[in-house]
Amino acid sequence: MFLEETLKRIQSHKGVLGTIVVNAEGIPIRTTLDNSTTVQYAGLLHQLTIKARSTVRDIDPQNDLTFLRIRSKKHEIMVAPDKEYLLIVIQNPSE
Amino acid sequence: MTGKGSPKAGARGSASRPKSSSSAGSAKSNKSAKGKPKPSAGKKEEAAPPASECAPPEDIFPLVLTSKTQELFQCRADEDLTQENPYKLLRKEDILLDVKTRGVVSDFQPFKQLVLDYPEEEILLVYDRDFKYGNNFYLVGSEEKKEQFLHPPEASTQEEEEEAQEAPYKPPESKLWISLGSEVEIEDESIKDHRQKICFKISRIRREFGAPVKFSDHSAVKEKENYVECPSYQDKTFNIKQMEKNAGIQAIPMLVEASTQTKWKYPKNACTQYSAQEFSDEEKQKLFTSKSLKDFINSVSIRFEIALQQNEIMNAFIDDWKVLGEEESSFGGKTDTHLKEYQSFTDLHFSKNKAVSFVNWHPSIPGIIAVAVREKYSFEERINFSAKLLLTHALILIWSFSDPIHPQLLLECPDDVYCFEFCPSDPSIIVGGCMNGQIALWDISAHMERLQSTRTGGGKHAPAKATSLPGFEDPHANDTPVMRYCAVSSIESGHKAPVTDVQWLPDYYEVSRLGTPVENSSGMCLQIMTCSPDCTVFIWDVRAPKAPLSQMTDRKKAEEKRLDILHEIPDTFKHLDLTWKPLIKVALPKLDGGGEYSSMKFSLVDSHRDTWIHGNVDKFHPKTEKLESGIDYATLRVPSAKNLKGQSDVSTKFSLGTEDGELVYADWKMEKDNDTGKLSSSKPSNCFVIHDGLLNTVQRSPFFKDIVLTVGGWTFAIWKEDIMSGPLLQSCCSQKRCTVGHWSISRPGVFFIGKEDGSIDIWDLLEKTHEPSQTQNICTAPITCIKPWIMSSRQHLLAVSDEQGTVYILEIPWTIRHPSNNEKTSVSNYFEREVKHLQYFEARKLFREREKSEMEADEQKRKAEAVPPEKTAEQLEMERKTEYEEYLEVEKKILIQVGILQEAEEPLPTV
């Protein structure tokens, strides 16, 4: 389906390690990683996204969080929040 | 004149001198001599007896009368004037006349004036017999005196007469009493009546005498008449205000004791367990197909695409400055590029004039280095000096950094040791290969403590002194302990030539008796591989083999021989001593033709050594836990080959360097020969002759498993094991022989080459490959062994030994030990390039050959077309002969030109 293709396209980018779709409560729906890692990522990033969003809205109530990128030594975690879902992609940039 | 003189003399005599028994004259004269009036009523004054020369009083004038004058005036001493009668009255007129007539000579000249003034007619002259006034005569100048002299003598003589008689008794007169105050005291003490005494008279009626008496109680308190009370009262009149008060003050600190009690809260372990919420699969499917998710993904995916692409394009967070800086800093920052000498070890007794054959760092104790020394004799010399050699033992010295003069331990070897290794899993076991083909085992676990304590700076003298009594010291207590080997291999079944390389097989596999690699259940290194120029490679096992009957005789022999073994040798390998036989013998038949390769050094593909020569001591920690219980090697047995699992992922290949400069790839795996049923090893797969001399180093890179460094003759080469066409890099011939080489253990592209002239070349493959990046001369003798070691992250040491018995410990500077960024990838890229280069070369070679063969074929074709008429055999022969003669001529000419052949001289024509 179109949905699948989109996810596949994202997954096939250079350096992408995994993709996770999470619902509003932090329960993973779809993932390409193993279960324990998925659960960990989902729970932690869900909380972080909520915090980030509330931060943005506190500063300017008209504003809203659209994209969150966390760059670490080893890889980059990208989170796109929505009202009901959360899409997480982990990529290893450059080499 | 005499008349004047005598009364005076008499007066003199009455002078108070009651003691004087001398003539009255002198006494009198004394009295009147006192010109000053001294009234003494009735008292006889004792004149202080004047000295014979005292100052004459005013009226007395002493003078000297010469005898002539004496005659003139008839006052001759002792004749006219004597002591009794010293006075003479002289007429004034006579004196004056004398003065006139005689003038200056006259004795009376000085007194002329006196005489003139004298009121009376006659002057008294006194004969001073005693020279009282300094001269024998004196004049009395006054009338009163004169009279005194003349008259009182009568009275005084009277008095004296009275006094001379008994003093009359006078009773004491009572005088007035003077009070000194004592009567007051006496009065005080005495009792006097102040008043008249009072008299009382008491009477009673007669009838009351003797009447019965009645006693009754009577209270004293109740009736106030019975007693008189004198209570104290405060007398207001008597009120003295205390104006001064003495008080003492002491200051002490306040001491307060207080205590509190707190509630004791202690941490408690509590845990909760939860499991994450998860959807079931159906729910997931349901959600997945929902529309909301679709919309979400569609809207979000664009952002992701952009982000992902950004990351792919470039890394936005690279700190360019930092990356730039790191590469540069190694260039110009640290100027110290030379190997600094840190310490050197040489022993005057044991390593003088001997060559160091091998050096090894102790794997677990830092700062301990073991050095094997050997004699430098050639074979003939050894035979000549064999008697001397028998007496001196071959030794391995173990040095500690804390004591550079005395080695810590000496290991006795059966013969000169060419190479030795510490057991990786048990660092107190050392195996060494000797010159006579035997291998020896040492167990230094008894001295491990000592070595460790010396490393920490304990100093070996301190413990010796602490435990020894003064008179009973062992004179050898401070000597270096000598440890004998605890096992040697059997002479018959060992190598026939010096053992040049010995290595422990890694602990993750072991070799069974059938020659196949099997699983190693013990996790310890128990097998040793040795090679020797007698064209054999042996694999030995440290455990006791299963004892078939034939070995019983060997054991008995061994036991007989061991009767004289000292007690100090540990029994670790008693089961092996003198009966040790190799487990597997690997033969090395030559690839081309007969003969075998005489191996010098080898390097296993799967080798434990290369993984731990990084100097990482941590890798030993898991092993030491096992070792604490102590390994009893004697009880270990070689397991039956059937029971063990085969390990297929272990490579059984190894690279071998030979005496002839060849590098051989061989396989030690034994295969069962189908025909004979015997086990035999396969033939080596490849052989390369590159080096001009014997290979003294075959070493695998610690970073790349398939890169091998070989050093021999005047060159060295780097090989990749898969590439069979040739070395990746071969150095040009250096001016001096390369004696030893070693990879650096911290940098993948650096290695050290030791030379014959005692210098070390440091090669950096990333810097330049045509010459060493650095050369440094260490000593004057050829270098025999190089071993690097990492002491700490800041200190990398290089042990270099030479042929004069000295081991130099050098410090590797930062530039040489610190790898640059991505050095490993750069070096591996370099090797890949070289491989490609070789492959290209090979391809070109093939291409060229093909080309050449094509060209030749073409030529031949052309030649074949224009075939000349066939010549007969004779003609051919003739042609060949002429050709040959022509050739000889040419040869002769060339030889003459070169100078080898001398032109034959034409013989002189005979006459």
* pLDDT band at B678; cut points 50, 70, 90: low
Q: What average pLDDT does the segment B654-674 reach?
A: 78
Q: What is the nearest CA distance from B312 to chain A, expressed in angstroms?
A: 6
Q: What is the dihedral of CA A25, A31, A35, A36, to 10 degrees?
A: -60
Q: Of B132-141, B548-557, B598-607, B746-755, which gets the smallest average pLDDT? A: B548-557
- Percentage with pLDDT > 90 across chain B: 2
B471 contacts: CB under 8 Å, gap ≥ 6 = none
The average confidence (pLDDT) of chain B is 75
User: Locate tokens 């982990």: which residue?
Assistant: A90
* pLDDT band at B525; cut points 50, 70, 90: confident
| Interface probe with B: pick from A66, A74, A85, A95, most Cβ of B within 10 Å | A85
* pLDDT band at B46; cut points 50, 70, 90: very low
pTM value > 0.90: no
A71 contacts: CB under 8 Å, gap ≥ 6 = A93, B317
Which of A25-34, B147-156, B572-581 tops mean pLDDT? A25-34
Asked if the C-beta of A56 comes within 8 angstroms of chain B's C-beta atoms, the answer is no
Q: What is the pLDDT of residue A38?
A: 92
- Is residue B550 predicted with pLDDT exceeding 60? no
Residues of chain A contacting residue B278, judged by C-beta atoms under 8 Å apart? 27-28, 39
DSSP one-letter code for B591: S
d(CA B890, CA B231): 173
* pLDDT band at A18; cut points 50, 70, 90: very high
- Is residue A60 predicted with pLDDT exceeding 90? yes
Q: Are B608 and B422 contacting, i.e. CB atoms less than 8 angstroms apart?
A: no
User: Residue B433, CB half-sphere, CA atoms under 13 Å: how many?
Assistant: 29
Nearest by CB: B278 against A27, A67, A87? A27
Cα separations in angstroms, B703 against B613, B628, B629, B707, B799: 11, 32, 34, 9, 20
Nearest by CB: B312 against A13, A27, A67? A13
B369 contacts: CB under 8 Å, gap ≥ 6 = B345, B359, B360, B361, B362, B398, B399, B799, B807, B809
Q: What is the pLDDT of residue A39?
A: 92
Residues of chain A contacting residue B277, judged by C-beta atoms under 8 Å apart? 25-27
Q: What is the pLDDT of residue B545?
A: 65
Q: What is the pLDDT of residue B170?
A: 83
B90 contacts: CB under 8 Å, gap ≥ 6 = B1, B4, B5, B73, B75, B122, B123, B124, B125
Q: Could you tell me the maximum CA-CA distance found in chain A, to the nearest angstrom?
A: 40
Residues of chain B contacting residue A10, judged by C-beta atoms under 8 Å apart? 301, 304-305, 308
Residues of chain A contacting residue B318, judged by C-beta atoms under 8 Å apart? 94
- Percentage with pLDDT > 70 across chain B: 73
3-state class percentages of chain B: helix first, strand second, coil last, to nearest 5:
30, 25, 50
Residues B384-438: tens digit of each pLDDT: 877 777 777 788 888 888 888 888 888 888 888 888 888 888 888 888 888 888 8
Selected residue with higher pLDDT from B374 and B631: B374
Which of B610-614, B637-641, B884-888 tops mean pLDDT? B884-888
| Interface probe with A: pick from B282, B287, B297, B323, most Cβ of A within 10 Å | B297
- Is residue B379 predicted with pLDDT exceeding 70? yes
Nearest by CB: B288 against A26, A30, A84? A30
* pLDDT band at B679; cut points 50, 70, 90: low
* pLDDT band at B207; cut points 50, 70, 90: confident
Q: What is the nearest CA distance from A85 to chain B, expressed in angstroms?
A: 7
Q: Which of B607, B600, B615 is nearest to B798 (CA)?
A: B615
Asked if the C-beta of B315 comes within 8 angstroms of chain A's C-beta atoms, the answer is yes
Residues B840-861: tens digit of each pLDDT: 888 888 889 999 999 998 888 8
In total, the C-beta contacts within 8 angstroms joining chain A to chain B are 85
Q: Of A78-82, B306-310, B396-400, B873-877, which gets the smallest average pLDDT? A: B873-877
Q: What is the nearest CA distance from A15 to chain B, expressed in angstroms?
A: 8
Q: What is the pLDDT of residue A58?
A: 95
Q: What is the DSSP string of B320-344?
A: HHHHHHHHHHHHHT----SPEEEEE
Q: Are B340 and B797 contacting, i.e. CB atoms less than 8 angstroms apart?
A: no
Residues of chain A contacting residue B315, judged by C-beta atoms under 8 Å apart? 93-94
Q: What is the nearest CA distance from A62 to chain B, expressed in angstroms?
A: 20
d(CA A92, CA A15): 5
Q: What is the pLDDT of residue B6?
A: 47
Residues B639-661: tens digit of each pLDDT: 555 555 666 666 777 888 888 88
Q: What is the pLDDT of residue B416?
A: 86
Q: B69-72: list long-range contacts, CB under 8 Å, 24+ apart.
A: B69/B98, B69/B106, B69/B107, B69/B108, B72/B98
Nearest by CB: B304 against A2, A10, A30? A10
Query: What chain B residue is nearest to A92 in terms of C-alpha separation?
Result: B311
B312 contacts: CB under 8 Å, gap ≥ 6 = A13, A14, A15, A93
d(CA B512, CA B643): 10
In this predicted complex, what is the ipTM? 0.86
Q: What is the nearest CA distance from A27 to chain B, expressed in angstroms?
A: 6
Q: Of A28-42, B97-111, B547-561, which gets the smallest average pLDDT? A: B547-561
Q: What is the pLDDT of residue B32?
A: 46
Whole-number CA gyration radius for chain B:
72
Q: What is the nearest CA distance from A16 to chain B, expressed in angstroms?
A: 8
- Is residue A16 predicted with pLDDT exceeding 80? yes
